[in-house]
């Protein structure tokens, strides 16, 4: 009875689907979060009777053959990297990327992580850091006594210092783009790491060819759409129920078989 | 020899297979581009040798094959730049490790070499038979109705769409792919329509599949009852007819 195992693969797949959807809904208000989708593929097929074999000595040929599938598997859970809505916050150190690109963040381990969450602040020694305190790369120090910070769409950071007329140049922010953004590995805290699937980062100045512009005073909201998530949830739940019906049917047939009089 | 028991058994075997196929349809109800299957059975009339008085042929049930319904599945609008569906007939061509494969699942992505690939990482081929390479420094590609893929106005080629004169030669290879014994059977379809931002769902109809399930279980029970009655008959014949007072 393959049906039992096939239905089990279906139920496992839908369970994963619900897990992915619930993670999307849970992160609906996470800055820079990109929604994910579980993607399914059919499993291998078993050729019970091959197409094209001769079915009789007269030379008749089986036209289609009997191929029986063995269920479904989750092929991948991929990130949909479309732009989230930009929300105005008024905070001087909130940055959103309008277009392609990721901010670079130095992790305590020495690795570079990438993020779309630009809700930055200033650390006690004047560096621009993420909400976890990781330094945004390239590191720059905002001088003490700065009354205002301006960040231009192309990443120029300037500080206005009390008593000086011209704003002082603090540094140039750089962003990174990837061949395959979907291949980046998520490590939590809105951070992503480079992987073999994503390819190496291409670092450049914002607003350059292929790079998105920076917007000061904005953050990028998650791109989770509540309505489509709830619809997906309903579909997943019904699909789960249908697979459980198959289990019932297979069970009923087995019980019929075992009750045959000998 | 009691042939009706074996006739019943032949039906039960095909019903179990029918359940396996229905289970696979339901498990893949949410698999993009999946095509629903149904078992085809035939009767195998057999003349029983040496039954002079009653020589009616006996009809066993045998698997004939699996029929695939290639009708289009529902189209879901995802808005994804790399989601492509084929309107009407046709298949995308994919260069898998084991050779050329065909698929209706158009949820593509780009790999680290910047090629247009399936979710499994197999390159999608253009109508020239070569992978389509994108430019990472340009915005997301636009795919026209005729399959032409371009980035910021720069033409990158066309996504190949192929048709088959005889769809029954297609074999499912798993991972939403089909294979054919001979790739020359794939005929280029330059008139096919490709839709960007759309994914073709499976064409599994839940209501039909659930009705199928009920039908299969009930048929199985009927055959079981028939077999029970046959064995009852035999035991009664042994117990009653054979009694000599």
Instruction: Kindly report the nearest CA distance between residue A205 and chain B, in angstroms.
Output: 13
The CA distance from A248 to the nearest CA of chain B, in Å, is 10
DSSP state letters, B3-69: HHHHHHHHHHHHHHHHHHHHHHHHHTTTSTT---EEEEEEEEEEPPTT--S----EEEEEEEEEEE-
Residue-wise pLDDT for A68-85, tens only, equals: 888 998 888 888 888 999
Facing residue for B65 by CB, picked from A10, A65, A260? A65
* B115-131 per-position pLDDT tens digit: 999 988 899 999 999 99
Calculate mean pLDDT across residues A24-40. 93
CB-count burial class (<10 Å; 0-12, 13-18, 19+) for B190: exposed
Contact A3 B173 (CB under 8 A): no
Q: Give domain limits for chain A.
A: 2-81+224-255, 86-220
CB A114 within 8 A of CB A192: yes
Predicted pLDDT at B3: 79
Q: For A167-181, how does the pLDDT look when each residue is reduced to its tens digit (9 = 90+)?
A: 889 999 999 998 788
In this model, does residue A36 exceed pLDDT 60?
A: yes
Closest CA to B176 of A39, A121, A141: A39
Q: Verify whether the Cβ–Cβ distance A67 to B168 is below 8 Å.
A: no
List the one residue out of B37, B198, B204, B20 whose CA is nearest residue A238. B204
pTM higher than 0.80 for the full model?
yes
Q: What is the pLDDT of residue A98?
A: 93
Instruction: Tell me the per-residue pLDDT of B47-63, one tens digit each, with 9 for 90 and over.
Output: 666 555 566 677 888 88
User: Which pair of structure tokens corresponds to residue A104?
Assistant: 């670079």
Residue B65: predicted pLDDT? 83
Between B208 and B242, whose confidence is greater? Answer: B208
CB A226 within 8 A of CB A28: yes
- What is the residue-averaged pLDDT of chain A? 88
For B164-195, what is each residue's pLDDT tens digit? 988 888 889 988 999 998 888 899 998 989 99
User: CB distance B17–A7 less than 8 Å?
Assistant: no
Nearest alpha-carbon partner for B17 in A6, A4, A1, A259: A1
The ipTM estimated for the assembled molecules is 0.78
In this prediction, residues B64-83 reach a mean pLDDT of: 88
């Amino acid at each position: 009875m393959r049906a039992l195992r096939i239905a089990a693969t279906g139920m496992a797949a839908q369970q994963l689907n619900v897990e992915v959807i619930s993670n999307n809904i849970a992160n609906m208000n996470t800055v820079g979060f990109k929604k994910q989708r579980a993607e399914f593929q059919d499993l291998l097929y078993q050729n019970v009777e091959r197409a094209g074999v001769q079915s009789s000595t007269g030379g008749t040929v089986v036209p289609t053959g009997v191929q029986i599938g063995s269920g479904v598997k989750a092929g991948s859970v991929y990130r949909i990297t479309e732009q989230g809505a930009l929300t105005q916050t008024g905070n001087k150190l909130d940055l959103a990327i309008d277009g392609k690109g990721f901010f670079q963040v130095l992790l305590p381990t020495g690795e570079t992580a990438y993020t779309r969450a630009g809700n930055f602040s200033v650390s006690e020694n004047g560096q621009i850091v993420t909400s976890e305190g990781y330094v945004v790369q390239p590191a720059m120090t905002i001088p003490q006594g700065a009354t205002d910070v301006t960040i231009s769409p192309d990443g120029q950071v300037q500080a206005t210092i009390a008593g000086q007329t011209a704003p002082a140049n603090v540094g140039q922010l750089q962003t990174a783009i990837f061949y395959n953004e979907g291949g980046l590995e998520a490590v939590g805290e809105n951070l992503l790491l480079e992987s073999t699937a994503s390819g190496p980062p291409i670092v450049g100045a914002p607003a350059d060819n292929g790079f998105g512009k920076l917007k000061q005073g904005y953050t990028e909201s998650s791109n989770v759409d509540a309505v489509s998530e709830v619809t997906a949830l309903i579909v997943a739940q019904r699909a789960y129920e249908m697979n459980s019906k198959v289990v019932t049917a297979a069970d009923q047939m087995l019980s019929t078989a075992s009750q045959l009089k000998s | 020899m009691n042939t009706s028991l074996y006739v019943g058994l032949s039906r039960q075997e095909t019903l179990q297979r029918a359940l396996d196929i229905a289970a696979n349809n339901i498990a893949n109800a949410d698999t993009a581009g999946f095509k629903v299957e149904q078992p085809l059975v035939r009767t195998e009339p057999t003349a029983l040798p040496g039954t002079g008085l009653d020589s009616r042929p006996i009809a066993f049930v045998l698997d004939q094959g699996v029929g695939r319904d290639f009708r289009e599945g529902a189209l879901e609008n995802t808005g994804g730049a790399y989601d492509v569906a084929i309107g009407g007939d046709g298949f995308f061509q994919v260069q898998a490790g084991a050779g050329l494969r065909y698929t209706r699942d158009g949820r593509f992505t780009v790999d680290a070499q910047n090629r247009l690939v399936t979710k499994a990482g197999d390159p999608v081929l253009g109508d020239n038979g070569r992978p389509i390479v994108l430019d990472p420094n340009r915005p997301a590609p636009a795919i026209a109705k005729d399959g032409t893929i371009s980035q910021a106005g720069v033409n990158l080629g066309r996504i190949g769409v192929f048709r088959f004169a005889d769809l029954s030669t297609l074999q499912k290879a798993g991972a939403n792919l089909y294979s054919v014994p001979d790739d020359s059977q794939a005929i280029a379809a330059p008139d096919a329509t490709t839709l960007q931002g759309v994914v073709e769902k499976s064409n599994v109809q839940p209501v039909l599949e659930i009705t199928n399930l009920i039908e299969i279980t009930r048929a199985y029970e009927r055959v079981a009852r028939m077999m029970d009655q046959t064995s009852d008959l035999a035991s009664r014949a042994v117990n009653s007819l054979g009694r000599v007072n």
